[in-house]
Amino acid sequence: MELSHKITKSDLKDFLKQGKRRKAIAKYYKVSLRTIANYIKKYGLVGTARQGRPPKPRKPHKIYIKRKGKVWIPVETYIAKLNEEYHFVNIQYPPYRYVNQRTFVCSNQTRNPRGRYSTVGIYFIVYVSSVYFLFATKIRYKLVTFKEIYDWISANVQSILEESFPHYYIVGIVGYTFSRPKKKPKAIRYG
């Protein structure tokens, strides 16, 4: 049997480094998988080829933001760092000056808000069709102290977002805002 292309060690090594599957290489050379396997063994390239089916596309990993320096940083700086890494198509900014990088609480001062609040604004990253978005939504709770509403939202945020946005993959939380609006947002009841 005459090959349409000569199978050289350098070409075969290049194909394997590019992550080409044995099946694709065999199709290119118009030979069987067994022939490609024999050449890989002959040239000492065993272990460089991936076998099996190509992997299924994976969801992106959770975001772990690198915290540099201060805990409270300006919201614009914080979102700009995220945008450099994820190249958002759409950005909804929190309407406050600072964000705590550990707790994701947004405030106009470099401390947690004080008082009683009934509504939480959640700013989160969504991955849809290989594109990242920075979305926002508001969830109404009962009128309680900051600590109580923060504890509630931080414990339930993942299930709230998954239920509210079932067709999106929620990558991570970016920020929380707390308010007492006169106009009531959509009420969602959780445990």
Closest residue by Cα to residue 91 from 100, 80, 106, 102 = 80
| Confidence (pLDDT) at 191 | 45
Quote the CA–CA distance of 123 and 91 in Å, as a whole number.
10
pLDDT for res 1:
47
Query: What are residue 189's phi and psi, to 5 degrees?
Result: -100, 125
| Residues in the chain with pLDDT values less than 70 | 1-5, 47-69, 183-191
How much is the pLDDT for 74?
A: 93
Our separate counts of H helices and E strands in the chain read 5, 6
Instruction: Please report the pLDDT score of residue 66 as a whole number.
Output: 55
| Cα torsion 149, 168, 126, 95: sign | negative
Domain boundaries, the chain: 1-55, 72-179
pLDDT of residue 181: 74
Nearest 5°: phi and psi at 54? -65, 145
Q: Are strands 98-100 and 169-179 parallel, antiparallel or unpaired?
A: unpaired
| 107 membership: H or E segment, kind and range | strand 106-107
